[in-house]
Structure 1
Amino acid sequence: MLKEITLSTLMLLEVSQVFAQTKPIQFITLDPGHFHAALVQNKTYDNVESVVNVYAPAGQDLQDHLKRIESYNTRAKNPTNWKENVYQGSDYLEKMIAEKKGNVLVIAGNNQKKTEYILKAAEAGINILGDKPMCIDSKGYVQLQQAFAVAKKNNVLLYDIMTERSEITTVLQKELTQMPAIFGQLEKGTPENPAVFTESVHFFYKYVSGSPLKRPTWFMDVTQQGEGIADVMVHLVDLAQWTIFPNVILSNKDVKFNSATRWPTPMTLSQFSLITGAKKFPDFLKKDLKNDTTINVYANGEINYSLRGVHTKLRALWNYSASEGGDTHYSVIRGTKANLEIRQGKEEKFTPQLYIKPNNLTESELQKAFEALKSKYAGINLRKHGNEWLVEIPDSYRTGHEAHFGEVMDRFLDYKSKNKLPEWEVPNMLVKYYTTTKALELAKKK
């Protein structure tokens, strides 16, 4: 009899454990001040409940977020079915932690508060998917270190949204760096002629989901959004680490700085009003006034450093608007046999394209070695383009920037199902934010 009860109890325990492992995911959204908070809900996911609990202060940021979700629910093609259960009040953070109505928290908003949110959520034992940047200065970096330690102690995941890893040209560029028959060995470079160079150009005025993007007024305040070195630069540092040292655990000691610089983008009141709807500069931007009608937004920066001896230069730029096209990305990684270059200019019709530029590589060697990559990515091909080769990429691989947010969430949910990130992810996230915040500190000393 005792044996039967014991076996029955064990069976119940096993069933409960299986149930716990297959329990649907429920999202929580906290203070969604950035449109990225909505983009992770641009699609639906298996095993994720349709009800999302939103906690935020009352205001325009919240209303804009809810409008974006509603646009996904009501679109003609592939509509979603999200149901936003909203709590709004000044105690939104405390309420979220007390109620804990969900097991995956999405944070994308004011970066001045974000690191505190992350730490509090980790202390509450909630899994966190945070938009970049997860910290914007050296003080925040110390707090982020603490958050990762707490997340580990409480057995929850903390992960940032790195959409550029989903862009097919960067994926193939990374693949090619790991093919010695094509790329050779990674050059070390010099500060003047780095082995890795990336430039990312963004625009304050642009379209998202088919409509002009409305930005919150605080987005132009670098004490709330973060400077260019601490914000967009996170993507560029991540790509450098992820591409040239894949699956390698890095440390802060691997980073050696040569220089770091910062400079502003001037923005007139009329330009500011067009993207925010505000008729005057708020008081918190008066510190940035160049004159009565123009503010200086320190959104631009450059870092020149070495990573494990590989000289790397990264540049993040913000212009007000584009005369044509949109955000652009340029990247070159130099190998002993070939350079791998991504261009997204007018010649490419502002679509990212990947080129292989041979240094010590014959056409037959390239074609033969490229067959291995073609077998992995069906449909890609090589086409002669002057003295270089264009990697032709089928449209099916070009899912687009907005879709990349859903692809990041897919990866995160897969990690959540295993309750484990790859071993290199956490240490490398810490190295990444050390690089950006330390570089900002250096740039401000000039």
Structure 2
Amino acid sequence: MKYAKFNYLMVFLFALSCKSPSTENDAKIKLITLDPGHFHAALVQKSMYPDVDSTVYVYAAAGKDLDQHLEKIEGYNHAAENPTHWKEEVYRGKDFLQRMIADKKGNVVVIAGNNHFKTAYIDAAVKGGFNVLADKPMAIDAANFELLKTAFSMAADKKLLLYDIMTERSEITNILQRELAAIPEIFGSLQKGSPQQPAVEMESIHYFYKYVSGKILTRPSWFMDTSQQGEGIADVAVHLVDLVQWACFPDQVIRYEKDIQLNSASRWPTAITLSQFNAITKSNGFPDYLKKDVKDTLLNVFANGEINYKLRDVYVKVRALWDYKAKAGGDSHYAVFRGTKADLVIRQGADQDFKPSLYILPSVSPANLFAYEQALNDKINVVKARYPGIELKKIDKGWEVLIPEQYKNGHEAHFAQVTTRFLAYLKNGNMPAWEVPNMLAKYYTTTQALSLAIKEGELKKNGK
């Protein structure tokens, strides 16, 4: 059955032990990897961490997903540079969730895999007394959002940490865009915008065919099923919604009940040929559960979406896009913050050699431009003090922020940075007060946007 292991999960949720994993006599953090099916689970272990035990306990059903995960860990252990020394203790069986909770061999569960099960896994792990580090998305639809709310409430009661992996906060251009937006002399204040020209726009383009750790990534077949992976509007868009909250309202609590107003949302598919599907999944034909999405021999994956909404009183637009393979470069990111004195823009196209670049484009009048440049050169020193080596380069309509290579450590390295941040929170016994409400806010935004997009699509289809 397509969701057989989900049935094991639902039965077991009624019989969870309330005993928490003990760490009183062991200062080490012990990791558990639960049902790994996405390469992000392995990337958490591309680095070693102080105070984290080198033995990792893996619980999953036997199969290709598990085998590929273990191969990646083995590859990191034998890397030419900075090899790791993880030891994987693996339990293979359909009752892997029950065994994980009964065994209680670790205190942090890493969850990155089939998103159809993820929210229920999170809920089960928290009920079992484990801290959870989960890949995005934590919830792919409105029903799972309700379950996620319960999990967060339960984690608070049990004094456990539940945290998602937001790697884009560690990308240097995103960091500097946030820093500059907080300097009134450079940015002014964030405009309110309008539905026609939002104050904040972000777009992320991803590709099914890509390289990870120097090798062509093999994706599981279920990754192409949006009922298991989630649609783009509820998956990749999570990063964008998170960045908007994190950068535009830094360290502030966002309450989804009053701070978010959805205006419109849309979704559309990426068409994948059978040969393309076979190339990225190492399969030999579409599995039965994907036949529902095949039309005229093409697999239609609803991986693209757009959300238009208001965050407090600021108009925002985010777009998540997927294509099969990049003609040049790789995944890319575009973002603009419109301020009263300047726009802060990230571009990652051919002109940037497909590497993210940050620009300051002033919007002051020509008469005030000289004074603005003086203020910019003065206040940029605040940023330089935090990030030595940062410089400004004059361009036609403003300035490019020149960023030393030492800060450009790449997407894969960001997983270690997020994990390190999570481990620090764990050691301190808490997270910043805004993290949990803001996680709920972003998943409310994406899951409600998906519901709205489906509804608007049906109305359009019926000519209403």
1:273 to 2:278 alignment: yes
Q: Which amino acid aligns with 2:380?
A: F
> CA shift at 1:257, angstroms?
1.2
1:289 to 2:299 alignment: no
1: CA distance, partners of 2:121 / 2:397: 51
* 1:172-204 CA-partner distances (Å, limit 9, x unpaired): 000011100100011000011000000000000
Q: Which secondary structure state, in structure 2, belongs to the residue aligned with residue 342 of structure 1?
A: strand
1:397 to 2:407 alignment: yes
Match of 2:43 in 1: 39
Match of 1:240 in 2: 244
Structure 2 counterpart of 1:131, from 131, 135, 139: 135
* 1:352-380 CA-partner distances (Å, limit 9, x unpaired): 11000011252212111111111121110
Structure 2 counterpart of 1:84, from 81, 88, 93: 88
2: CA distance, partners of 1:371 / 1:39: 35
1: CA distance, partners of 2:63 / 2:395: 52
2: CA distance, partners of 1:332 / 1:221: 31
Match of 2:418 in 1: 408
Q: Which secondary structure state, in structure 1, belongs to the residue aligned with residue 437 of structure 2?
A: helix
Change (3 A) 1:336 1:380: same
Conservation of the 8 A alpha-carbon contact between 1:21 and 1:417 = no
> CA shift at 1:168, angstroms?
0.4
> CA shift at 1:22, angstroms?
6.8
1: CA distance, partners of 2:30 / 2:164: 18
Match of 1:334 in 2: 338
> CA shift at 1:20, angstroms?
3.3
Match of 1:209 in 2: 213
Conservation of the 8 A alpha-carbon contact between 1:125 and 1:155 = no
1:104 to 2:108 alignment: yes
Q: Which amino acid aligns with 2:268?
A: W
Q: Which secondary structure state, in structure 2, belongs to the residue aligned with residue 229 of structure 1?
A: helix
Match of 2:4 in 1: none
1:301 to 2:305 alignment: yes
> CA shift at 1:21, angstroms?
8.5
Structure 1 counterpart of 2:360, from 352, 356, 359: 356
Match of 2:227 in 1: 223
Q: Which amino acid aligns with 1:409?
A: T
Sequence identity, in percent?
A: 59
Q: CA RMSD in A?
A: 0.9
Structure 2 counterpart of 1:173, from 153, 171, 177: 177
TM-score (norm 2): 0.91
2: CA distance, partners of 1:250 / 1:412: 20
Q: Which secondary structure state, in structure 1, belongs to the residue aligned with residue 51 of structure 2?
A: coil
2: CA distance, partners of 1:353 / 1:22: 45
2: CA distance, partners of 1:230 / 1:439: 8
Q: Tell me which stretches of 4 or more aligned residues in structure 1 moved more than 3 Å.
A: 19-22
* 1:266-325 CA-partner distances (Å, limit 9, x unpaired): 00110000000111100110110112x211000000000010010000000000001110
Q: Which amino acid aligns with 2:287?
A: P
Match of 2:432 in 1: 422
TM-score (norm 1): 0.95
Moved more, 191-200 or 365-374: 365-374
2: CA distance, partners of 1:413 / 1:443: 37
2: CA distance, partners of 1:100 / 1:329: 40
> CA shift at 1:162, angstroms?
0.1
> CA shift at 1:255, angstroms?
0.6
Moved more, 251-260 or 211-220: 251-260
Structure 2 counterpart of 1:438, from 424, 434, 448: 448
Conservation of the 8 A alpha-carbon contact between 1:157 and 1:420 = yes
2: CA distance, partners of 1:418 / 1:103: 15
Conservation of the 8 A alpha-carbon contact between 1:221 and 1:297 = yes
2: CA distance, partners of 1:20 / 1:384: 57
* 1:137-192 CA-partner distances (Å, limit 9, x unpaired): 00000000000011111110000000000000000000011100100011000011
Q: Which secondary structure state, in structure 1, belongs to the residue aligned with residue 333 of structure 2?
A: strand
Match of 1:64 in 2: 68
Q: Which amino acid aligns with 2:50?
A: D
1:154 to 2:158 alignment: yes
Change (3 A) 1:21 1:384: farther
**Total equivalences in the alignment:** 427
Match of 2:377 in 1: 367
* 1:24-66 CA-partner distances (Å, limit 9, x unpaired): 1110000000000000000100011100000001100000000
Q: Which secondary structure state, in structure 2, belongs to the residue aligned with residue 315 of structure 1?
A: strand
Q: Which amino acid aligns with 1:83?
A: K
1: CA distance, partners of 2:229 / 2:124: 20
Extract unaligned runs of 5+ from structure 1: 1-18
